[in-house]
Structure 1
């Protein structure tokens, strides 16, 4: 019995010490009921900013070219400019709004951590990753202190970070260089390489949905995503994609998030439906 206990302690220590990979977002493999609860928490965390931003949406298409690096050798951009505009609009409303309200870290609520930039949640990152992503910021070491702090603990910790200012220019650069490539890979992981055959704006609509809702395909909460993967994409049907994106609104009916998230789903659907 002592030997077994010793082995278990060693295993637990090894698990605790194992580094968290900075690759694709987690793919849920737990049983459906548990996974659905996990998905719901993640969605609420990722959606909190959108609920605040939605009432004051402003056009940001004029800044998209400044956000996206110029493609080389006539290569298409990593993500369509319209899709980038969609995500930026729903995460921070506009550069002007960002400068007025979001230059300093915030706590969006729920299971979120201390958040800054364009939806960058320090609580769901490792300190090493934060230091790498924000190495150009003079307070990167201080921002790295938010790693792993979420929920009520993040709310309590927020005052220690409110003196940090994150300029929009740096926020957009981290968004383009770090967040977009990760979520592009995550979108392909969820929907398969067939998604690349879609028009760029339709693929961008799916990427925007993944950015907000995650990549899980598990359970009833994600039935529309499975329909997009299994029915709409094989048929190349952007109208089908738009219908399934709007149908996701059922998840927030009669909740405080309905206006913001149903509006966001409508925006994604319109982006997909207008894709050519």
Structure 2
């Protein structure tokens, strides 16, 4: 089952195609802006075999596309660990930040990785210290198919549970793809509802989701663009949330 899911994920994400070079750079900058903060507050949990933790294939493809562009781009540029910047630690796969995990968690999540013992030593190393130690880990390779499986089976269920708790009122009224857009939003932006930058999140929680209104959700995703307008992240993050809006609207 897991192998089948990974193969389907690969097929879905291949269909999106690679983004232009400029868009790839903008996307990586956008990811770096939020990754450290999100990973710091959302611990990655082991997979639990519960149907409610399943993220739809379309939503997984959406997240993968906006995190790494495509499997081909991942294989060219992201097979080895990177340091996204800021408060991040040594990071591999789809935003798995070793600096914000404990060594036992890394060993559990990546038990099948041939370099798991070395990856576990990245635990707790963040910021410029992570930047400085990165060369020690650049020879470690995580192939896309393995990365995709761990991302889907280990990483996403934790964020899906967080999204379900955050948007609990009306969650069950939503189609799987619409639920997946909320998981994608929490993965990218966290679950905080505090501050003017979070007004669309509050409307999602208090108005759209309780009504099961996917058009309302789409409108809030598009409205989020005002947060990044005029910044270096506008193209990447506005594109991401316009895509989320389309996925919500098409959800059945």
TM-score range, shorter chain: 0.7 to 0.9
TM-score with structure 2 setting the length = 0.78
Q: Contact between 1:44 and 1:111, CA under 8 Å: does it hold in 2? A: no
Q: Which deviations, in whole Å up to 9, do the C-alpha atoms of 1:206-264 show, x marking residues without a partner? A: 11111111111222221111101111112221111011111112221221111111111
Larger radius of gyration: 1
Q: 2:157 maps to what in 1?
A: 181
Alignment partner of 2:199 out of 209, 212, 223? 223
1:165-214 Cα deviation digits (max 9, x unpaired): 01112111111111111011010111115212101111111111111111
Separation in structure 2 between the aligned mates of residue 263 and residue 273 of structure 1, nearest angstrom? 15
> Could you tell me which residue of structure 2 aligns to residue 272 of structure 1?
248
Give, in whole Å, the separation in 2 of the partners of 1:146 and 1:245.
35
Alignment partner for residue 80 of structure 1, among 43, 46, 56? 56
1:137-216, aligned counterparts within 5 Å? 137-216=113-192
Deviating 4+ runs (over 6 angstroms)? none
- Give, in angstroms, the shift of residue 76 of structure 1: 8.6
- For 1:44, the equivalent position in structure 2 comes to 33
Q: In the superposition, relative to structure 1, how do residues 193 and 184 fare at CA in structure 2: closer, same or farther (>3 Å)?
A: farther
- Tell me the equivalent position of 1:131: 107
Residue correspondence of structure 1 range 57-96 to structure 2 within 5 A: 78-96=54-72
Q: Which residue of 1 aligns with 2:95?
A: 119
Q: List runs of 5+ in structure 2 lacking aligned partners.
A: 1-30, 38-48
Query: What is the CA RMSD across the aligned residues, in angstroms?
Result: 2.3
Per the alignment, residue 41 of structure 2 pairs with: none
- TM-score, normalised to structure 1's length? 0.72
Question: Is the partner of 2:139 in helix, strand or coil?
Answer: coil
Count of aligned positions = 212
Query: 1:77 offset after TM fit, Å?
Result: 8.1
